[in-house]
Structure 1
Amino acid sequence: MSAVAEADLLCRFGFYKGALFVRDQSLCVVSDVHIGLAEALRREGLHFPLHEEETLLERFEAILGRFNPAVFVLDGDIFHAFDRVSRATKETFETILSRLRRECEVVLIRGSHDTMLPAIAGGTVERYDRGGYTVVHGDKAVDEHGTLVIGHDHPAIEIDLARFPCFLYGESAVRGKDLVVMPAFNPLSPGVVINYAKGRDFLSPILRRVDAGALQPVVEVDGEVVVLPPLAGIRRFA
C-alpha cells in the first residue's frame, strides 16, 4: 500500500486498543471480548490473578475517551464459554454494558460462543448495518453487505519473535467491498499467527474466499499505529 493510501486508511479509521473506529459514522467496534476467559484459564490450572474485569473496563474507558462514539458494537464471542455463564462472568458483562450505555448506543452481535447471550441480554442481532458498513461476527457467510467488519479469527502477526494482535485490511476484498478483520479484544487471548496463512487456514467462511496475501496487517506498537505491507510482501522478505 502506498504512503498516500496508508494516510487515507488512517483518516478513515481509528485503531486503538483493539477497537476500530469508523470516523464518518461515529461507530466503534470491538470483537471477541471473551468475558470469562480468565475463569477458564484458572480451571486449567493458571492460578495467578489475571484481573480480567479491571483490564477490560480500563480498555473500554480508554476507547470511550479516545473516540466518544455514537454507537458501540460488541461483535460476537462476547462470552468465552459456550454452555455456561457464571455469576462472576455475568456481573462483569453487566458492568461493562452499563458503562458503555451511559455514553452511547450499544449493539450486541451474537458470535459462535454466544449461545447464552440472548437469554442474558436480550435484543441481540446477527448483523448491524450503518452507513454502508456491515458488522458481523464472521462465523457465517454473508451475501449482501457493505464494507465488512468481522471478528472470529483472532489475527496476530509475528515480528522478530514477538506476537502482536493485528487488524487485517483488504481493499475490495469481498465482492468488491472493503474488509476489516478485528483482533481479539481480550488481552488474555494470544491470537493466531497469520504471517503465512492461506485462505483455507482461516475459520471464517468469509476469509476462506479472500486472497490472504493481499490482506494488510495494522498493528499498534508503543502507542503508534503501523500499517504494514500486504502479507504476500511480508512473506517475501521474511
Structure 2
Amino acid sequence: MNLQAEADLTGRFDFYKNALYIRKERLCVVSDIHIGLEEALYADGLHFPLHEGETLLDRFASILDRFSPRTVVLDGDIFHSFDRIARSVQRKFSAIVQALSAECEVVYVRGSHDTMLPSVMGGSVERYDAGGFTMIHGDKAVTDHGFLVMGHDHPVLEIEMERFPCFLYGRGVAGGQDLLMMPAFNPLSPGVIINYAKGRDFLSPLLRRVDTGRLQPVVEVDGEAVVFPALAEMRRLM
C-alpha cells in the first residue's frame, strides 16, 4: 500500500456517506445525486417504495451536522431524467435546496443528465474552482485545472461478491495533477465495478487518458477512510 497516498488523503479530506469534505476549504462535494432515479425505476416496473427523497435529505442532514461546511458543491447529474422534471422530482429537489441553502452556500455543477437544470435553477456552472481544486462532473474533457474532483462513472469496488461504493484517487495522473473520483451519492445507483476496468471502460473522456492501474480505491467505513492499494497491485493479488 502507498502510505504516502494514505497520508495525503486522510490528512486533507474526510469521507462520509459518499461525500468528500475538503477541510482547508470547508467545502463538501457530492456527485451523481440523480434525483428522480426512483421515478425511473417505477416506470420500469418496480412496485415497492424506495423513499428516495427522505433518504437523500437524511444523508445531506448527516453531512451538514458532521462537517458544518461553508460550501456544498453538487457536482453534476443532480437530476436523473434528461428531458423532463416531474412534479415529485421538483418537490424533492426544492426540499434539498432549502435544507442546504439554509446552512451554507450551494454550487450547482451541470452534468450530462442536467439538461433541465437551467430551467429550474439559475446560476449553474460547468466547473467550480477553489483553493487549487477543480470540481467538474467528468463528462467533458478539461486541460487547465487543479486537483481534479469529479464524478460521472459511479465507481464500485467488489470484494468477495459484495459491492462497496468507492472513491478513486490517483496521484499526479491527470496532467501531473491529482485526481479524485466520487461515488454516486444516491444509494439507489447500482454503480460500476472498477476492479478490472481499463481507461477505455470509463465513460469520462478524462479517464481514458489515465493509467487506471495507478488509481487507489478509497472506501468509507463508519466515517473512516480505508485506502486500498492501486488497482494494478490489487489485480495481481486477486
Q: State the TM-score bracket (shorter-chain normalisation).
A: over 0.9
Inter-partner Cα distance in structure 2 for 1:115 and 1:11: 37
**Aligned sequence identity (%):** 67
- Which residue of structure 1 aligns with residue 207 of structure 2? 207
Q: Secondary structure at the match of 2:95?
A: helix
Query: Could you tell me which residue of structure 1 aligns to residue 172 of structure 2?
Result: 172
How far did residue 196 of structure 1 move? 0.2
Partner of 1:155: 155
AA of the residue aligned to 1:185:
F
Alignment of 1:63-102 (within 5 A): 63-102=63-102
Question: What is the match of residue 26 of structure 1?
Answer: 26
1:216 aligns to 2:216 (yes or no): yes
Q: Aligned partners of 1:52, 1:192: CA distance in 2, in Å?
A: 20
Deviation per residue, 1:132-158 (Å, 9 max, x gap): 000000000001000000100000010
Q: Deviations over 1:56-96 (max 9, x none)?
A: 00000001111111110000000000001000101100100
Supply the distance in 2 between the matched residues of 1:5 and 1:204 (Cα, whole angstroms).
23
2:146 counterpart of 1:137: no
In the alignment, which residue of structure 2 is the partner of 1:194? 194
Extract unaligned runs of 5+ from structure 1: none
* Letter paired with 1:152: H
SS, match of residue 14 in structure 1: strand
Q: Tell me if structure 1 keeps the 8 A contact 2:157–2:163.
A: yes
State how many pairs are aligned.
Answer: 238
SS in 2 for 1:172: strand
Unaligned runs of 5+ in 2: none
TM-score, normalised relative to structure 1: 0.98
Stretch deviating more after TM superposition (102-111 or 221-230):
221-230
Per the alignment, do residues 15 and 222 of structure 1 end up closer, same or farther by CA in structure 2, a change over 3 Å counting?
A: closer
Shift of 1:48: 0.5
In the other structure, the counterpart of 2:51 is 51
Deviations 1:165-191 (A, max 9, x none): 100000011011000000000000010
Indicate the SS of the match to 2:56.
helix
Cα deviation for residue 11 of structure 1 reads: 1.2
**2:128 match:** 128
What is the deviation of 1:223?
A: 4.5
How far, CA to CA, are the matches of 1:114 and 1:4 in structure 2? 37
Q: Deviations over 1:190-223 (max 9, x none)?
A: 1000000001110000111011000000002354
Distance 1:214 1:202 in 2: 15
Alignment partner, residue 62 of structure 1: 62
- 1:97-108 mapped onto 2 (5 Å cutoff): 97-108=97-108
User: Which residue in the other structure is 2:42 paired with?
Assistant: 42
Post-superposition, which runs of at least 4 consecutive aligned residues in structure 1 deviate over 4 A? none
Q: Which residue identity is paired with 1:68?
A: S
- Higher RCO by CA contacts (8 Å cutoff, separation 6 or greater): 2
TM-score, normalised to structure 2's length?
A: 0.98
3-state SS in 2 of match to 1:134:
strand
- Please give the secondary structure, in 1, of the residue aligned with 2:73: strand
Counterparts of 1:223 and 1:181, CA distance in 2:
18
CA RMSD of aligned residues (A): 0.9
Matches of 1:176 and 1:91 in 2, distance apart?
42
